[in-house]
Every structure is written in structure tokens, then in C-alpha cells.
Structure 1
């Protein structure tokens, strides 16, 4: 499984592979025609309430991670499986708009995709 994270504001490269925006809202200052997206997975973003509560406050990071993982457990399973399958076959780049590259929802989503895939592999 090959997943990388990248801010949507960073230039697209040929090494990005499949580019998936995982924010619930369209990022400010980016024209849709310039985003070079393959797909926008807004159903996999944290709920508005969770996102607003977190507010990118590092003091709340661990609680946010736990709450968002709970939301992902109830999320769009077809979209999650689609991303897992893409990552099994080629490079997947999860795009996000947050300034903090270490503490944002895309980090949690990447971990979730990888750990859920590991569990599925062990069941086979």
C-alpha cells in the first residue's frame, strides 16, 4: 500500500499518482480546474462539529484522532475501499488544505486506511 500526504496548495507532480482531495470543504484560493484532482472524497472528511471543535489545536490532537477514527468506522465504506484498492495498485496521494502537515485529518485517514488494510490482509 502506497499512500502519501500532500497539501493541495503544493504543486502536483508526476509522482503523486492518484490525487484524492479528502477535505469536506473546497480549499480557499484553489480553482477546481487547477487542482489536478482525480476525485474529491468529501464524505470521508471529519464532521463539521468535530472539525470545528478540533480547530487544529494540538492540545486536542489525540482526542481528535480517536473521535475521527470513530467517524471513519461509520463512514462511506465504498469510498474507503476504493481508496484502499487504489493504494494497493498505485501511488495514492491524499490532499488536504490544513497548514499543519503533522496534525490534520489526512494523517488519521492515512493511518486508518493502512491499519484497516493490514487487518483485512491478516484475515485472508
Structure 2
């Protein structure tokens, strides 16, 4: 089973498996039926404060990743992460983000953590 990251704006592919949106906000200009999102665990996404801090350019990706991982230690977020990990054990999972740089987003952090199973 595999976990991968894709932009939500890319068309769905047969190998996507369960499509999980990992952004707190719905992607701009994307109709809900066109996104083909299976799950949207908002509690797994970075907090509004962390998201705003990172997008304002106030810190590095490494610092963002560290702060986000700390947020994921909260019981509710840890439970959602465990759920996505279980989905990945059962089949393919695609983490979806609207980020123009998915490799430097919360999706990349989640991909790494899910890979550490």
C-alpha cells in the first residue's frame, strides 16, 4: 500500500485510492464534486495561527514542520493521524493539498510521518 501527495487541482487517477484533503480551507475555485475528496479531517490540518504564520513568510519550512508535528501530538490530531495510517495499511491513500509547493507543505510532513509507521 502506498501514500502519496498530489495537488487537489490535478484530475483524479485510478491509483489514488482514498483521497484525503489535508488543507484546513477548501481549495479556491474547486467545486466539491470535482475534487473527489473522500475524507477531510480538518482536525489533522495545521491550526489557523500556524497556517497564517507560515504563509506570511515569518519562518522556514523546517520550523513550520516542527511546529506542525507538535500540533499533531494533541490527542484529537493524533487520533486522526492514526486513522489515516490505518487507511494506508488497508490500501492506497492520496493526501491532497492546494499548495503550489506540496513538498513544503503539511502534506509533506504527513507523508513523512505516515512513512514512519
Structure 1 pair 55–95 and aligned structure 2 pair: CA distance change class (3 A): same
1:69 equivalent in structure 2 = 69
TM-score under structure 2 length normalisation: 0.91
Question: Are residues 1:99 and 2:92 paired?
Answer: no
Report the secondary structure of 1:39's partner residue. coil
1:16 equivalent in structure 2 = 16
Q: In structure 1, how many angstroms separate the alpha carbons of the residues matched to 2:56 and 2:108? A: 13
Report the secondary structure of 1:102's partner residue. helix
RMSD over equivalenced CA pairs, Å: 1.7
Asked whether the equivalents of residues 2 and 91 of structure 2 are also in contact (C-alpha less than 8 Å), the reply is: yes
Structure 1 pair 81–50 and aligned structure 2 pair: CA distance change class (3 A): same
Question: Are residues 1:28 and 2:28 paired?
Answer: yes
- The Cα offsets for residues 64-113 of structure 1, whole Å up to 9 and x where unpaired, read as 01000000111423321111111011110000111112211110111122
Q: In structure 2, how many angstroms separate the alpha carbons of the residues matched to 1:58 and 1:3? A: 30
2:45 equivalent in structure 1 = 45
Asked whether the equivalents of residues 71 and 77 of structure 2 are also in contact (C-alpha less than 8 Å), the reply is: no
Q: What are structure 2's unaligned runs of at least 5 residues?
A: none
Q: In structure 2, how many angstroms separate the alpha carbons of the residues matched to 1:21 and 1:59? A: 24
Q: What are structure 1's unaligned runs of at least 5 residues?
A: 118-124
Report the secondary structure of 2:104's partner residue. coil
Deviation, structure 1 residue 46: 0.3
TM-score under structure 1 length normalisation: 0.86
